A and B are shown apart, each in its own frame.
Chain A
Amino acid sequence: MLIAEIFDRCRALVDDTDLSTVAAWKAAHPGAKAIGCFPVYVPTELVHAAGMLPVGLVGGGGHIEMDHADSLVQSFVCSISRSTLELGMTGRFRNLDGLLFPSICDVARNLSGMCSRNFPALWVDYIHLPQNRASAGVVDYYRSELARVQVGLDVLAGRTTTFDALAASIQAFNQQRAVLRDLHAFRRSFPWLLSTEELHLLTNAGSVLDVAEHTNLLQETLNLLSMRKGKPKDRIRVLLEGAFCEQPPLELMKAIEEAGCWIVEDDLLLGRRWLATDVTLNGDPLRALAESYVRQDTVSSVRHERPRRRADSLVERAREARVDGVLLCSAKFCEPALFDQVLLRNALEQAGIPHLALEFEEKMGVFETPRTQVETFVESILFA
Chain B
Amino acid sequence: MQVFTSVLVLTIVFLVFVITDIRSYKQRKVESMESLAQVVGTNCISTLEFNDDDAAKQILEELHTVSPEIIQAEITDKDGKLFATYIKPGAANFPVPADANENKFTFTGNRLFVTSPIISNNSTIGKVLLQVELSELQQIKQFKYELAALLFLFALLFSFLIAFFIQGYISKRLLRLVNTIKRVSKTGTYEPIADDGKDEISTLIAAFNKLMQQVQESQKRKDEFIGIASHELKTPLTSIKGYMDLLKLKEDRQPNKQFLEKALQNIKKLESLISDLLDVSKIQTGQLELTICEFDMDVLLDETIAAVQMVSTTHQIIRENKAKNEIVIADRQRIEQVLVNLLSNAIKYSPGEKEVFVESKKSGDELIIKVSDSGIGVPKEEQTDIFERFYRTKGISTHISGFGLGLYICKDIIKRHQGKIWVESQAKGSAFYFSLPLKKSE
The answer to whether A and B assemble together is: no
Q: Please give the residue numbers on chain A whose beta carbons come within 8 Å of chain B beta carbons, in ascending order.
A: none
